[in-house]
């Protein structure tokens, strides 16, 4: 049976509250009481929708994984290699701007050893990354991309894009800026353009 409008609204409120509390306090520091208060619901009401803190956390993470993997799925093997990879960088920067709390939620999960999504990381994420690395190597072998290590280049893209969300306070302090992303995308894109430009 489909959820009623009220049930759908309450589930959405719980997930939004969970995102806020988990991204602020991490999984271990978050409590059901905090999430219920943030959602404007009683704890028993919250437990009607989700049996545990773990259930809320895993629901958020699995939804996030789909969002996080979409940019890599959109890379076209038939496209122009440099343009496809720079578009990937741009999409990752857009996620950093649009979903900073989600990025921190994911980072906290990884720092804890990925106890709730280890199966997804070792399956779907690795499969997608290996396929992209193979495609990048084919482009390199064809002289269409600079000779870089594909896997480490992908990890470098993650590091340079997600850092702006995961370490937002540090970035703002160093740059003394209320909007550190206003110039970040152009800078990061330029770095990878130079790195990936095929050698003539």
Tokens describing residue 181: 């992303």
H/E stretch holding 137: helix 126-141
Find, among 158, 46, 47, the residue nearest to 96 by Cα: 158
- Residues listed for the chain: 200
Each residue's pLDDT tens digit, 1-39:
456 888 999 999 999 999 999 988 888 899 999 999 999
67-83: pLDDT as tens digits: 889 999 999 999 999 99
**Of 83, 79, 73, 78, which is closest to residue 192 (Cα–Cα)?**
83
What is the CB neighbour count within 10 angstroms for residue 112?
12
Half-sphere exposure of 81 (CA within 13 A, CB side): 22
Q: What is the pTM of this model?
A: 0.85
Nearest 5°: phi and psi at 22? -65, -40
User: Domain 1-51 belongs to what topology?
Assistant: Arc Repressor Mutant, subunit A (1.10.10)
What is the model's pLDDT at position 62?
Answer: 86
Homologous superfamily of 58-196:
Tetracycline Repressor, domain 2 (1.10.357.10)
Helix H or strand E encompassing 49 = helix 43-49
Domain ranges of the chain: 1-51, 58-196
Work out the average pLDDT over 37-59.
95
């Amino acid at each position: 049976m489909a959820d009623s409008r009220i049930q759908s609204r309450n589930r959405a409120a719980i997930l939004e509250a969970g995102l806020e509390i988990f991204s602020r306090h991490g999984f271990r520091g978050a409590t059901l009481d905090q999430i219920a208060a943030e959602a404007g619901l009683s704890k028993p009401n919250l437990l009607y929708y989700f049996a545990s803190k773990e259930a809320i956390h895993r629901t958020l993470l699995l939804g996030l994984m789909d969002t996080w993997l979409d940019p890599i799925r959109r890379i076209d093997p038939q496209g122009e290699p440099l343009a496809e990879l720079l578009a990937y960088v741009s999409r990752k920067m857009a996620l950093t701007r649009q979903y900073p709390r989600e990025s921190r939620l994911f980072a906290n999960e990884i720092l804890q050893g990925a106890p709730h999504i280890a199966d997804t990381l070792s399956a779907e994420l690795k499969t997608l990354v290996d396929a992209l690395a193979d495609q990048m190597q084919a482009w390199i072998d064809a002289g269409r991309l600079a000779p870089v290590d594909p896997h480490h280049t992908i990890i470098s893209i993650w590091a340079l894009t997600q850092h702006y969300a995961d370490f937002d306070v540090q970035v703002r302090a160093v740059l003394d800026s209320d909007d550190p992303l206003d110039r970040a995308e152009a800078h990061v894109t330029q770095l990878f353009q130079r790195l990936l430009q095929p050698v003539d």
